[in-house]
């Protein structure tokens, strides 16, 4: 079996607020193996962003790690010093953020930013500039040597996001975290960036943790998928299992509501009725119960994330034969 790179083990994270503790992540467990692409999918408020912040330890002051571990190459990042984390970020772990408009410094040329980001390298400035030009070419920016002299506002949104991906890959990371990197782009650019990312991932050989609410992108890019709802993992499995044999009602509803899966013309796009529960005041039992059309009495008890087959897990009583004691 391929070596595990990142392990999230029983991770629970709260935000302390005036209303009480907001239980942003609860008992999260999954892993990312070397060279694989894992997608995290779920509605807004499901905990995707908190999960990334927790992995990178870039958290708000009111964040409390209640339990669990985040292991990268076997080392628990939650016990690392800030200095150790700084050396990992932008080195072995890189990130691409959602908004390409805010990724770059607007008053510094792209070339200088791409040279500066290689500050750990002992190469000469000319070599660093050559490498920057090579990476720009690799992400499909024409005339890279000329374009290194330009400033961020001289590039389109799609090009800026390509440059952000180039910069994230320059350190040769083992893990690239991509936080909704195509959400701000139109559909054509999204397809181009996903294709390019797939090619580059093969070249660099890194694993990718790809966060998105866009199921089509997840299906196109990823090997495995983790479905999150209200701060918990409700299902995980291979792309085939999640999209062709989903076992959690929330996953099924997400797929039904995805515009890519709607065959007939519709004036109003379908949505999942109801709202994500208040994380400061979570309901008892299954967290999806208030929105689930198949809810039953036993759902008043929290279903465990049960193993349905090798690598396919779901937290729903519909997949259990026995009524819980
Ligand atoms: Fe629906 Fe019950 Fe399954 Fe929760 S456990 S998703 S409420 S059927």
Banded pLDDT at 176 (limits 50, 70, 90): very high
Rounded to whole angstroms, the Cα distance separating 81 from 92 reads 16
- Residue 323: is its pLDDT beyond 50? no
CA of 56 from ligand 1 middle (Å) equals: 32
In a domain, 74, yes or no: yes
> Which residues, 6+ apart, have CB-to-CB distance to 144 below 8 Å?
132, 133, 134, 136, 137
CA angle 90, 92, 93 (to 5 degrees): 60
- Decide which of 102 and 286 is more confident: 286
- Decide which of 323 and 130 is more confident: 130
In a domain, 148, yes or no: no
Q: According to the model, what pLDDT value does residue 85 have?
A: 95
Rounded to whole angstroms, the Cα distance separating 154 from 25 reads 40
Our answer on whether the CB atom of 249 is closer than 6 Å to any ligand 1 atom is yes
- Residue 262: is its pLDDT beyond 70? no
Our answer on whether the CB atom of 318 is closer than 6 Å to any ligand 1 atom is yes
- Residue 322: is its pLDDT beyond 60? no
In a domain, 46, yes or no: yes
Banded pLDDT at 260 (limits 50, 70, 90): low
- Residue 240: is its pLDDT beyond 90? yes
- For 311, the domain range is 4-92+171-322
Banded pLDDT at 266 (limits 50, 70, 90): low
Number of helices followed by number of strands (H, E) in the chain = 11, 12
Our answer on whether the CB atom of 87 is closer than 6 Å to any ligand 1 atom is no
In a domain, 151, yes or no: no
Give the count of domains, the chain.
Answer: 1
Q: What is the CATH number of the domain that holds 244?
A: 3.40.50.300
Which residue, 291, 281, 286, 277, is CA-closest to 318? 286
Out of 17-21, 241-245, 264-268, which region has the weakest mean confidence (pLDDT)? 264-268
- Residue 325: is its pLDDT beyond 60? no
């Amino acid at each position: 079996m391929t070596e595990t790179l990142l392990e999230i083990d029983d991770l629970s994270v709260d935000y302390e607020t005036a209303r009480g503790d907001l239980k942003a992540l609860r008992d999260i467990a999954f892993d990312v193996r070397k060279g694989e692409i894992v997608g995290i999918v779920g509605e807004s408020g499901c905990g995707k962003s908190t999960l990334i912040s927790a992995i990178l330890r870039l958290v708000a002051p009111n964040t409390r790690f209640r339990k669990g571990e985040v292991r990268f190459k076997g080392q628990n990042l939650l016990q690392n010093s800030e200095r150790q984390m700084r050396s990992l970020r932008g080195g072995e772990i890189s990130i691409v953020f959602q908004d390409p408009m805010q990724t770059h410094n607007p008053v510094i040329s792209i070339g200088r930013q791409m040279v500066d980001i290689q500050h750990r390298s002992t190469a000469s400035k000319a070599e660093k500039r050559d490498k920057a030009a090579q990476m720009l070419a690799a992400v499909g920016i024409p005339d890279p040597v000329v374009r290194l002299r330009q400033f961020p506002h001289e590039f389109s949104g799609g090009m800026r996001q390509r440059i952000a991906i180039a910069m994230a890959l320059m350190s040769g990371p083992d893990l690239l975290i991509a936080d909704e990197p195509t959400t701000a782009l139109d559909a054509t650019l999204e397809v181009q960036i996903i294709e390019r990312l797939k090619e580059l991932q093969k070249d660099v050989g890194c694993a990718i943790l790809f966060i998105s609410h866009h199921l089509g992108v997840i299906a196109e890019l990823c090997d495995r998928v983790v479905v999150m709802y209200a701060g918990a993992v409700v299902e995980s499995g291979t792309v085939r299992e999640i999209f062709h044999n989903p076992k959690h009602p929330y996953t099924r509803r997400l797929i039904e509501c995805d515009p890519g899966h709607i065959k007939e013309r519709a004036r109003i796009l379908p949505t999942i009725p109801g709202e994500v529960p208040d994380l400061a005041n979570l309901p008892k039992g299954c967290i999806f119960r208030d929105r689930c059309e198949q809810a039953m009495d036993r759902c008043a008890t929290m279903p465990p994330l049960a193993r349905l087959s090798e690598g396919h897990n779901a937290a729903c009583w519909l997949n259990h034969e026995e009524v819980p004691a």
